[in-house]
Structure 1
Amino acid sequence: MPLSYDPEFAKAAAPILSGISSNPAPAVHDVKSRREGITARYAEMFAKLPEPSGVEQTIHQIKSYDGQTISVYRFWKKDSPTSPGPTVLHCHGGGTIQGDVELFKKPLALQVQQTGVQVFSVDYRLTPENPHPTPSEDCYAALCWLYEHADEFAVDRTRIATMGESAGGMLAAGITLLARDRGLSPPLAKQILIYPMLDDRNTVPNPALEPLALWRANDSITAWTALLGDKIGTDDASPYAAPARIKSVEGLPPTYIDVGELDVFRDEDIKYAARIAAANISLEFHVYPGLPHAFEVYAPNIEATKRAQADRMRAITTL
């Protein structure tokens, strides 16, 4: 039986799917068109989300690994306890080629409103202007800054999770590996990876999946090349940029991963999850039938999205 969209998703996302199909896809390596198109679509969809209430936001300037200043956004509930509690260090999606925290701040604030768990989101520098290791090192610098300032922000250092979606999931996984390998103490409590982009070698279109995908093989080639340059697909690609390449997952924290059945990252996410399970690391893993990449952006109110969001919120609240 051929792959197909979840019927409720197809109905809810029909206008955006029609718009995507009626416009020519950007050429491979056309970063500018992808930045404009994806950002506009996400901004349109996020504008339809309900307005969060009771969530505060501040922006903090920190120094990254090379001395450059980057911004870290803090989101927290007004009535949060003053005693140290769980915290999420978030890396936003966008293939590392587009997006910023400003674009994602409404869904992040809604997440904090729902869970009560504060979030620090990193405005890392984008590629191709800032290739690897800059995005990963920006996010790792933010993680170290969070550890250093934990007392100031009522953060329990033993209950910090990394989290990200798509390329943000790649960055979250990458800095979780860096935290393990650099001996960050205390260790991270969890990694929460939402349809993460993990493997630069996954660039060959799957003919059964490609027509239904909302992020396609050419998008991946564009994004990975922007991040890795001529190292894409070679043995010189860093596992801290492409976590699927890491030789061992031993010592990683408990892990949550989810991905749609129609996502081009599906198979690499399944393989990464299987490696974590084989290492006897606590794992929660979901594949949602009939859903493509970033399904919750395009169809936030369908039952499948509600189930996925409930799974994610539980992963956060059980930190």
Structure 2
Amino acid sequence: MSGLKFDSEYLKAIEPFIGGPQPPQQSNDIYGRRATMNMIMTAANDFAPAPPAVPQTVFIVKSHDGVDIKVTRFATEAASKSETPTPAVVYLHGGGFFCNSVEIFSPRIARCAHDSDLPYFAVSYRLAPEHPAPCAIEDCYAVIKHLSESSQEFNIDPAKIIVHGDSAGGGVAAGAALLARDRKLEPPLAKQILIYPMLDDRTKVKDDDPSIELMVWKPDANVIAWDAYLSEARKNSDILPYAVPARAASLRGLPPTYIEVGTLDLFRDEDIEYANRLARENVEVEFHLWPGLPHGFDGFLNLSWYERAKESRMSALKRNIFKYFSKFNELKHALSGSQTRIMGLKEKFWHPSMPRKKNFLGFGPPEEVKGDG
């Protein structure tokens, strides 16, 4: 990362904090770090308040070991009163696997629900070191499975469940997506949204690397966090590939993926490599590398970079979800019916934005569908 520097707009945004009162020095004690991180993130909410009118409701889901996991649903009035089943987003907060909470992240989650008009289901997953891997991943998967099996209760479409995680939450989300693939969740996850995700415990930076000064999340914190989270999992080949998604032997079969990270983020290289692996294994992937930005840059809502990132995330959330999923699912069911029924659907399901030729289901624009298609 030599030669890199903060984006000028970001640098201007943090100037008021440079030289001011500093948070307590973080020690190697994980509980001390947790207290400090929770304090910092809570204070940061003063600069990024929640939008109005995003009601929250809480319910409980049993995890794999019978433990109660709290889930908080954030949904706008439009999402709550939808006459048709909506997509659903399962959200995992950041915090190095050992700190923060849904409550601390509630302004951020409310903004996501507000901006997307989609219901967000935030998982209060268990934290390390008290609950090392695979607890967080299993907690997340349990919520995904519950929503899929209880979709009518929540007025959601089980074929449109998206998993979204920030930082360590991105690692949990990616691990849960691998678990859903291998346990053959049906319908499969529709998409995963990974915001500067924490994916690889092997990431290392030399002690004398000058870019460390520009990092928000430092290498020493990364080592402490992974050690707390993995515990004995490093010796368990059944757990490790899910706890550390970058260690998975194959990424083939994962849902379409959105990944973003800044050039000054410790996770930059591991996220680039994960995106490259997804592409090599024929998984649809969208990747953004934000220049001059560190971990957690989106805590400053007045940045033009925040607006660009928000636009990209919202676009990724909704791309293909609304327009094609329901159309193709119903069309595939229709293919098992009579030819008369299929031909009767062609006008209903063709959309002007679709290619003006027969697609892989045998349907094109109504006037181009001929004979037995």
TM range (shorter): over 0.9
Residues 232, 86 of structure 1: alpha-carbon distance in 2 compared, 3 angstrom cutoff: same
Instruction: Specify every segment of 5 or more residues in structure 1 that has no aligned partner in the other structure, as ranges.
Output: none
What CA distance in whole angstroms lies between the structure 1 residues aligned with 2:253 and 2:195?
20
Q: Which one has the bigger strand percentage?
A: 1
Q: 1:274 aligns with which of 266, 276, 283?
A: 276
Aligned to 1:55: 54
Q: Aligned-pair distance for 1:234? A: 9.4
Q: Does the Cα contact within 8 Å between 2:133 and 2:239 map onto a contact in 1?
A: no
1:77-102, CA deviations, whole angstroms, 9 ceiling, x for partnerless residues?
A: 11221311111111111011001101
Task: Find the counterpart in structure 2 of residue 43 from structure 1.
Answer: 42
Q: Is 1:26 equivalent to 2:9 in the alignment?
A: no
CA separation of 1:18 and 1:82: change in aligned 2, threshold 3 A: farther
Where does residue 285 of structure 1 map in the other structure?
287
Q: CA RMSD in A?
A: 1.9
Match of 1:4 in 2: 5
Partner amino acid, structure 2, of 1:126: L
Instruction: Using the TM superposition, give the Cα deviation of residue 23 of structure 1 relative to its aligned residue in structure 2, in angstroms.
Output: 5.5
Structure 2 partner of 1:102: 103
SS in structure 2 opposite 1:55? Answer: coil
SS in 2 for 1:172: helix
The SS at the match of 2:87 is strand
Over alpha carbons, which structure has the higher Rg?
2
- Partner residue, 2:201: 200
Residues 44-70 of structure 1: CA distance to partner in whole angstroms, max 9, x if unpaired?
222332442232210001211111111
Match of 1:229 in 2: 231
- Structure 2 regions of 5+ residues with no counterpart? 322-373
Moved more, 222-231 or 266-275: 222-231
- Residues 235 and 14 of structure 1: CA distance in aligned 2, closer, same or farther (over 3 Å): farther
Correspondence for 1:186: 187
The question of 1:244 aligning with 2:237 is answered no
- Percent identity over the alignment is 44
SS of equivalent residue, structure 1 residue 192: strand
Find the counterpart in structure 1 of residue 73 from structure 2: 74
Matches within 5 A, 1:115-194: 115-194=116-195
State the 1:19 CA deviation. Answer: 5.1
TM superposition score normalised by structure 1:
0.94
Displacement of 1:24 in angstroms is 6.6
* Structure 1 match to 2:92: 91
Structure 1, residues 180-206: CA drift from partner, whole Å, max 9, x if none? 000000011100000000001113447
The structural deviation recorded for 1:221 is 0.6
Pick which of 208-217 and 259-268 moved more: 208-217
Q: Check the 8 A contact 1:27/1:218 in 2, yes or no.
A: no
Distance in 2, Cα, partners of 1:117 & 1:300:
20
User: What secondary structure does 2:152 align onto?
Assistant: coil
Which one has more relative contact order, counting CA pairs under 8 Å at least 6 apart? 1
Residue matched to 1:294: 296
Distance change >3 Å, CA 51–CA 169, structure 1 → 2: closer
